[in-house]
Amino acid sequence: MTFPVNTISLNDGTSIPQVGLGTYRLEDDDAYRVVSDAFVAGYRHIDTARIYQNEAGIGRAIRESGIPRDDLYITTKLWNGDQPKARDAISSSLDRLGLEHVDLYLIHWPAPQRGTYVDAWKQLEVLQEDGLTTSIGVSNFEPEHLDAIAAVSDIVPVLNQVELHPLFQQKALRAEHAKRGIATEAWGPLCHGSVDLAAEMPTLVNLAERYSKSIAQVILRWHIQHGTIIFPKTSSKERLVENIALFDFELNAADMGEIDGFDAGRRLGTAPADGNWD
Ligand SMILES: NC(=O)c1ccc[n+]([C@@H]2O[C@H](COP(=O)([O-])OP(=O)(O)OC[C@H]3O[C@@H](n4cnc5c(N)ncnc54)[C@H](OP(=O)(O)O)[C@@H]3O)[C@@H](O)[C@H]2O)c1
């Protein structure tokens, strides 16, 4: 059984499936298996990055799936040390993926200590013009980083991929995105797998029972109703199906408010200023 997935319109006239699959920590062989299973479950949107070292496995799954290229939405990302040579980096990613273009190419971290992300954005503009990527965007950018690229470029990132989940809701940044016409993508939508969801947010147990859904589905549906693009990672076949079955129920306003109330400003991953690895 497959499930219908909403799409979100982006500021360059394209659109993106609101739910996809995250692939962080899935190495090539696992990525091949999980992405193949995900395609069978109905996923068409896959999020990867050069640094995840799984683009080749994902490429194999894409080729063997037989799914028409136009039906897929593939995102990959420019790693920090590659910022000065974005064309080489995307060419290598495309070789590994076995694709002629990706749908979305993101600057993975601003890594402002390097002083290269603004120039990297200018390079991404050219890669887009040359058709190597359909859309361009950013990840882990704060408003000051968005300002810095706006100062040199008329092209607004289609989206910003940031840590976002019930314990860290990024309300100010989301409002900033809305003002600038930038869509919000959540990484770590299920709290990055690093907390016990029921223990941290006990009332989710009752909510899940009331909707006859899992706690994960209630959280993912909360993201959907906020208009956020999500790509939870799982290596389990059952959870792949669970995490995309989100469009046959709706949280009422009171229950949305209950989850909004869990915001603790609690980052579980790396802060933008610290994401400066080579
Ligand atoms: N741009 C960035 O800097 C950045 C940073 C981090 C991540 N990301 C992207 O965002 C994606 C998602 O974030 P994430 O992987 O950090 O965390 P996440 O999707 O919030 O959580 C993944 C964890 O939740 C578990 N899980 C998945 N579905 C579940 C379910 N239905 N019920 C219970 N547990 C479930 C997974 O375990 P099992 O595998 O055992 O199911 C895994 O441990 C990544 O894979 C990556 O593509 C981007």
pLDDT for the residue numbered 2: 61
Cα of 231 from ligand 1 centre, angstroms: 8
Summarize the confidence of residues 247-257 as an average pLDDT. 97
How much is the pLDDT for 220? 98
At 4 the pLDDT is 82
Each residue of 208-235: pLDDT tens digit? 999 999 999 999 999 999 999 999 999 9
For tokens 């080579």, name the residue.
278
Structure tokens at 115: 């002083």
Q: Ligand 1 centroid vs 220 CA: distance in angstroms?
A: 12
Name which residue sits closest to atom 26 of ligand 1, judged by CA: 234
pLDDT band at 64 (very low <50, low <70, confident <90, very high): very high
Domains and their CATH numbers in the chain: 7-193+226-250 (3.20.20.100)
| Neighbour tally for 194: CB within 10 Å | 9
At residue 239, the pLDDT reads 98
pTM of the model: 0.98
pLDDT at 61 over 60: yes
Is the Cβ atom of 24 under 6 angstroms away from ligand 1?
yes
Four-point Cα dihedral 60, 64, 66, 69, nearest 10: 0
Q: What percent of the chain has pLDDT over 90?
A: 99
274 with 140: CB under 8 angstroms?
A: no
What count of other Cβ atoms lies within 10 Å of the Cβ of residue 68? Answer: 7
Contact predicate 214/208, CB 8 Å? yes
Q: pLDDT digits over 66-96, tens only?
A: 999 999 999 999 999 999 999 999 999 999 9
Ligand 1 lined by 98 (C-beta under 6 Å): no
How do residues 92-131 score in pLDDT, each as one tens digit?
Answer: 999 999 999 999 999 999 999 999 999 999 999 999 999 9
Average pLDDT over all residues of the chain? 97
Q: Confirm whether 52 is a catalytic residue.
A: yes
